[in-house]
Amino acid sequence: MNILEDRRIIIGCAAVFALMFFLFYPNFYHYPDEQTYLRNAYLIFTGKMLITDPLYSYGYAFNGSAYVSAYPPLHSVLIAPFALFGWQFSFLLGLVLHLINLFIIYKILKKLDLPAIFSLLYLFFPAIALLSTTLEAEMSSITFVLLTAYFFLRNDNKGFALAGFFAGISVLSRYTNAAIALAFLIAIFIDKKKVSKAWLFIAGAVPGAAITLAFNSFLYGSPFATAYSVLGYASFTLQDFPLKAAYYVALLSVIFPLMFFAMFFSKNRLRNATIISSIIFVLLWGSYFFFYPRFRLEDLIIGADKFAPIVPLMLVCYAECLWRIIQKFSIEKYMGKIAVVAIILMVACSGFAMLKHKEKQDLKFEVFKKIYSETPEGALIIVDEKISSLSGKYKETPFTGMFFTEFFGNRKLASIKEDYTKYIVDEKNTFFMAITMNPNITVEITPFEKK
């Protein structure tokens, strides 16, 4: 048995991952973004993308006439078929996409004549394993970036056109994927033999770009506007840039040692696109004012999430460098033992990441159950503003909380800095909620009459 190419090992590891996924299956979400993607999926069923009720506007931007999603629509479209069976089934999308991505990266490695077993680097990469249990758009973002890379490697007219098509579509999953599309286009121009193919890539990207521009124009009032520009979040600064840039580079060089730097020593056809997109991402996130280094142990897992769409490209370059080292020192004969140890370690690390994240999801679920059990249908629940992450950038949005009517009944959970009395219809059905986070999450719900 050639352990480097045996598909049974890949399939077996995929089955192990699926078992871990269901073992740690989320019964609730953890990140605020997730409820927005899920709520968008339900809005798709109604044919609406605008919210007029301010008490249903948590995480949405006010565009002057209505509240609109801060995110492009593709990931919510993909969630929708799963949500048809109930919101709890929505999390299955993460597993489906993760396994699809594994297959694509397997095919990419085959195209580059690299051992298929290196696809397990993707399968068990801790940050991506964790993201697969969420409703975050990084998973679909990875899918379309990998499809871009796969067809780019075909090196023919149809391949370049399809690469452009999937690069354009990827922007409908995450706006920052536009930087990756640009990186592939620049990589085409760098290769003198491919310059004439650039127009095929550009033409292929037109449909995705057109849909994105139309979506932005409809929701934000301009083809080139986003929710971040509406909110005033699209600002950058060079303050602390060296620290933040070094932070992200370090995060991408610890889990798999020196992974970030491997692409500079690789020689495969994805090298230039990977290097360019990685540098753009470091410049982008290193100068974006909203994010900052936290230097927590858990950052080794979740800190790399902003780079998730290009991590698989880095892993392809990393696999090439590992293979060259293995060949140079003639250690292929030990690959069986090395692979067993490596797989055990990767399973343990990714499983640990999923477990710790499951604990956070469970805490949120306990909060949800407490609120649901202690308040009646139709209740207005006002959150203590001292613990709510509110910003004046959201203008008059009173921030409905992280629960919405599809599973919360018609309760309204709102964090309101302004005068909340105008939202009170029935004092007997109004409650105040205080949450403390340290050392454990505690929730105290008080009727309005006793406040």
Mean pLDDT value across the chain? 86
CA atoms of 406 and 38, how far apart (whole Å): 10
The pLDDT, as a whole number, for residue 211 is 96
**Are the C-beta atoms of residues 52 and 66 closer than 8 Å to each other?**
yes
Task: Indicate whether 11 and 150 sit together in one domain.
Answer: yes
Instruction: Give the residue, 363 or 58, on which the prediction is more confident.
Output: 363
Tell me which residue of 168, 169, 171, 17 sits closest to 94, measured CA to CA: 17
Residue 60 has pLDDT above 60, yes or no: yes
Task: Indicate whether 244 and 334 sit together in one domain.
Answer: yes
Per-residue model confidence as pLDDT tens digits over 287-318: 876 666 666 666 666 667 889 999 999 999 99
- Average pLDDT estimate for 329-341: 87
**Are the C-beta atoms of residues 89 and 82 closer than 8 Å to each other?**
yes
Give domain status of residue 37, yes or no: no
Residue 100 has pLDDT above 80, yes or no: yes
Give domain status of residue 38, yes or no: no
Give domain status of residue 229, yes or no: yes
The pLDDT, as a whole number, for residue 291 is 65
Confidence of residue 378 (pLDDT cuts 50, 70, 90): confident
Task: Indicate whether 340 and 405 sit together in one domain.
Answer: no
The pLDDT, as a whole number, for residue 400 is 47
Q: pLDDT above 90 covers what percent of the chain?
A: 49
Give domain status of residue 439, yes or no: yes
Task: Indicate whether 54 and 88 sit together in one domain.
Answer: no
Confidence of residue 268 (pLDDT cuts 50, 70, 90): very high
The pLDDT, as a whole number, for residue 266 is 96
Confidence of residue 385 (pLDDT cuts 50, 70, 90): low
Name residue, tokens 């970030």: 260
Tally of domains in the chain: 2
Residue 391 has pLDDT above 50, yes or no: no
Query: Residue 378: left if φ>0, alpha if ψ -120 to 50, beta else—which one?
Result: left
Q: End of a domain among 323, 357, 391?
A: 357
Task: Indicate whether 59 and 86 sit together in one domain.
Answer: no
Task: Indicate whether 150 and 202 sit together in one domain.
Answer: yes
Confidence of residue 218 (pLDDT cuts 50, 70, 90): confident
Confidence of residue 399 (pLDDT cuts 50, 70, 90): very low
- Average pLDDT estimate for 272-292: 87
The pLDDT, as a whole number, for residue 253 is 92
Task: Indicate whether 229 and 262 sit together in one domain.
Answer: yes
Give domain status of residue 370, yes or no: no
Confidence of residue 70 (pLDDT cuts 50, 70, 90): confident
Confidence of residue 381 (pLDDT cuts 50, 70, 90): confident
Give domain status of residue 363, yes or no: no
Domain carrying residue 229: 7-30+77-357
| Percentages of the chain per state (helix, strand, coil), in multiples of 5 | 60, 5, 30
- Average pLDDT estimate for 389-418: 56
Give Cα separations from 8 to 4, 80, 174 (angstroms). Answer: 11, 32, 34
- Average pLDDT estimate for 194-206: 94
The pLDDT, as a whole number, for residue 388 is 45
Q: End of a domain among 357, 388, 412?
A: 357
The pLDDT, as a whole number, for residue 134 is 94
Residue 205 has pLDDT above 80, yes or no: yes
**Are the C-beta atoms of residues 29 and 358 closer than 8 Å to each other?**
no
Task: Indicate whether 404 and 386 sit together in one domain.
Answer: yes
Eight-state DSSP code of residue 209? H
Residue 203 has pLDDT above 60, yes or no: yes
Eight-state DSSP code of residue 384? P
Give Cα separations from 118 to 299, 336, 365, 388, 400 (angstroms). Answer: 24, 13, 36, 43, 45
The pLDDT, as a whole number, for residue 35 is 83
The pLDDT, as a whole number, for residue 232 is 64
Name the E strands within 310-441: 380-383, 412-414, 430-436
The sign one gets for the Cα dihedral 299, 280, 178, 48 is positive
Confidence of residue 392 (pLDDT cuts 50, 70, 90): very low
Characterize 186-212 residue by residue with b for buried, 16 or more Cβ atoms within 10 angstroms of its Cβ, and e for exposed.
ebbeeeeebeebbebbbebbeebbebb
The sign one gets for the Cα dihedral 57, 42, 142, 126 is positive
Helix (H, G, I), strand (E, B) or coil at 356: helix
Task: Indicate whether 101 and 134 sit together in one domain.
Answer: yes
Task: Indicate whether 259 and 306 sit together in one domain.
Answer: yes
Residue 418 has pLDDT above 90, yes or no: no
Confidence of residue 438 (pLDDT cuts 50, 70, 90): low
Task: Indicate whether 58 and 144 sit together in one domain.
Answer: no
Give domain status of residue 87, yes or no: yes
Q: pLDDT above 70 covers what percent of the chain?
A: 87
Residue 113 has pLDDT above 50, yes or no: yes
Residue 18 has pLDDT above 70, yes or no: yes
Give domain status of residue 367, yes or no: no
Instruction: Give the residue, 441 or 260, on which the prediction is more confident.
Output: 260
Per-residue model confidence as pLDDT tens digits over 127-163: 999 999 999 999 999 999 999 999 999 989 999 999 9
Task: Indicate whether 282 and 397 sit together in one domain.
Answer: no
Q: Which residues pair with 444 in a beta bridge?
A: 434
The pLDDT, as a whole number, for residue 387 is 47
CA atoms of 240 and 386, how far apart (whole Å): 28
CA atoms of 92 and 133, how far apart (whole Å): 8
What is this structure's pTM?
0.91
Residue 416 has pLDDT above 70, yes or no: no
